[in-house]
Structure 1
Amino acid sequence: MKVIFAGTPEFAATALKDLHEAGFEIPLVLTQPDRPAGRGMQMHASAVKQYAQQHGIEVLQPLSLRMDSKDPQRAAEAKAAHERLLATDYDVMVVAAYGLILPRSTLDIKPCINIHGSLLPRWRGAAPIHRAIEAGDDETGVTIMQMEEGLDTGPMLAIERTPIEAGDSTASLHDKLARLGGKMIVETLRKMQQQPLEAVPQPEAGVTYAAKIAKEEAALDFSLPALELGLKIRAFNPFPGACGQVDGITIKIWAADVLEADSKEAPGQVLAADAQHGIVVACGNGSLRLTELQKPGGKRLPAAEFIKGFPLEGKRFV
């Protein structure tokens, strides 16, 4: 079976690696164009492109796949990409966190299969891992589905569940689901080589949408319940990183424990900031013990180390 792979971040690179190591022939990889990143804003290749180049796989990076784009450059690149796909001998396209919409013209060439990091139809869309944690879901998983023009609406070929542990952040859950997705796509394609797979329509009930994460969501509102804030902190680690302001300085909050005890102090008030109690902050209901923080230009530090260089006693997060 010859597989064209379309994907961009680490989640996708894990699946590409598993397919490649499983022996599938991969004549072409599609990934997003290089982007500026880091403090120096140097051009940075995607994780998928890096893996493909390391293993001698041809890479195509069109700005768009929509030949009807009103942008002449995007339309031209989409036309060239379409012609390249038509000229390539392949059996299936596997898509994982690609970041570009696949138009009907692409979907009609050969079957397209998507690796999606949720239990569809829950959390269709761009940020299923973040939103599952933020919502307090007990479990999530990976769905392998046939692609159609709707947003993650295609029939399902395989689905596997995994619990969301109390200590999971988006970073840790991402890695679990990436490994699961890689395993599942290899199994799915091997089964397809033996016989056609039954595609099961998604249930009509239980549809939710995982909107893309906006940087503005990072600012914590300490008038909210501690439980809700604790979920946001886990969901926004590593991006965009939950934060609060102290004396006009933005402090990143990477990890926290939820405490049930209420306080009469105003939300955001630091109730304790010492080696014995840690950093405890009042919330609208309950409180948070902040366990990992970062000041601008600094490193991520455990609370005990953070307060040595940034005293918080008597301060308030806003």
Structure 2
Amino acid sequence: MKVVFAGTPEFAAVALRALHEAGFEIPLVLTQPDRPAGRGMQLQASAVKQYALAHGMAVAQPLSLRMDAKDPQRAEEARAAHERLMALDYDVMVVAAYGLILPRSTLDIKPCINIHGSLLPRWRGAAPIHRAIETGDVETGVTIMGMEEGLDTGPMMLIERVAIEDSDTTGSLHDKLAALGGRMIVEALRKMEAGQLEAVSQPEEGVTYAAKIAKEEARLDFSLPAEVLWRRVRAFNPFPGAQGQVDGVTVKLWNAELAPGQGEPGQVLALDAQGIVVACGVGALRLLELQKPGGKRLAAQEFLKSFPLAGKVFS
């Protein structure tokens, strides 16, 4: 089969690698335009583009696929992309975390299959991994689905489950699901080639939406229960990084665990070999890894050498 691939971040690059290594011909890769990144804010190619170029694949980076876009440049790039797809010899488009909406005009050219990091219909939308951890789900997974105009509403073709461990962060769970998604999309396309890929509609019950993570969510409210904050620390690692403020200084909180203790919310209750115990609305949180502005991520004991917290209050 000839596969057009559309994706942008590392989650998608893992799937592209799996398809390439499985021997599928990939005549075109679509990915988002290069974005400024890093301290120097220099333009950086997406993980998908980097893999595609390293393996001799053609790459297109339209600003939009909507030919009716109000912005003339976006509309023109969409028309050019549409014409290219119409003229291209391919069998299926595989989409994974592309970041652009596929309009009906694109969906109608060839079948489109999406790799989605949740157990649909739970956590449709942009941030299913973050939200699953933040909410306290005990499991998640990957769904291979047919694409339609609705937000992750298409029929399900394959679905596999993964347990969410207490030690999981969005980073670690992302890696597990990315690897699973790569394996599953290869399986799905091989079944499609053999005429054995079946699709079932998503159930109407159990629909939830995973809204995009806003940077403002990173600020922890220590009046909330410790368990809620513990899940948020894990959910916001590596992005956007949970935060607390001490004497007006923003401190990133990368790793934590539940701890015994009670006091005024935000109050530092103890400094010990295990970490920094901070009171919450209910219970306490032991901070294990922290980072001050301009500094490195450090284990609690190392962090305390340059940032004393005895008697301090997180807000």
Q: TM (normalized to structure 1)?
A: 0.98
Are 1:272 and 2:261 counterparts?
A: no
Partner SS, residue 3 of structure 2: strand
The separation in 2 between residues aligned to 1:231 and 1:80, in whole angstroms, is 44
What 5-or-longer segments of structure 1 have no aligned partner? Answer: none
Q: What code does the residue aligned with 2:264 have?
A: A
The separation in 2 between residues aligned to 1:87 and 1:313, in whole angstroms, is 67
The question of whether the paired residues in 2 share the 8 Å contact of 1:132 and 1:140 is answered with yes
Matched with 1:228 is 228
- How does 1:220-259 map onto structure 2 within 5 Å? 220-259=220-259
Runs of 4+ in 1 over 3 A off after TM superposition: none
The question of whether the paired residues in 2 share the 8 Å contact of 1:121 and 1:203 is answered with yes
Q: What code does the residue aligned with 2:298 have?
A: L
Q: TM (normalized to structure 2)?
A: 0.99
Are 1:182 and 2:179 counterparts?
A: no
The separation in 2 between residues aligned to 1:223 and 1:53, in whole angstroms, is 49
The question of whether the paired residues in 2 share the 8 Å contact of 1:258 and 1:287 is answered with yes
Q: What code does the residue aligned with 1:192 have?
A: M
Q: Cα RMSD (Å) of the superposition?
A: 0.7
Matched with 1:200 is 200
Matched with 1:153 is 153
Report how far residue 266 of structure 1 moved: 1.2
Are 1:299 and 2:311 counterparts?
A: no
Matched with 1:162 is 162
The separation in 1 between residues aligned to 2:229 and 2:174, in whole angstroms, is 20
Partner SS, residue 81 of structure 1: helix
Matched with 1:288 is 285
Matched with 2:22 is 22
Q: What code does the residue aligned with 2:128 have?
A: P
Q: What code does the residue aligned with 2:271 have?
A: A
Report how far residue 196 of structure 1 moved: 4.2
The separation in 2 between residues aligned to 1:243 and 1:214, in whole angstroms, is 13
Give aligned pairs, total.
315
The separation in 2 between residues aligned to 1:20 and 1:316, in whole angstroms, is 52
Partner SS, residue 220 of structure 1: coil
Counting aligned pairs with the same residue, the percent is: 78
The separation in 1 between residues aligned to 2:272 and 2:196, in whole angstroms, is 62
Question: For 1:16-66, what per-residue CA distance to the aligned partner results, in whole angstroms no more than 9, with x for missing partners?
Answer: 000000000000000000000011000000000000000000000000000
The question of whether the paired residues in 2 share the 8 Å contact of 1:35 and 1:43 is answered with yes
What 5-or-longer segments of structure 2 have no aligned partner? Answer: none
The separation in 2 between residues aligned to 1:274 and 1:142, in whole angstroms, is 40
The question of whether the paired residues in 2 share the 8 Å contact of 1:273 and 1:311 is answered with no
Report how far residue 278 of structure 1 moved: 2.3
Report how far residue 197 of structure 1 moved: 1.9
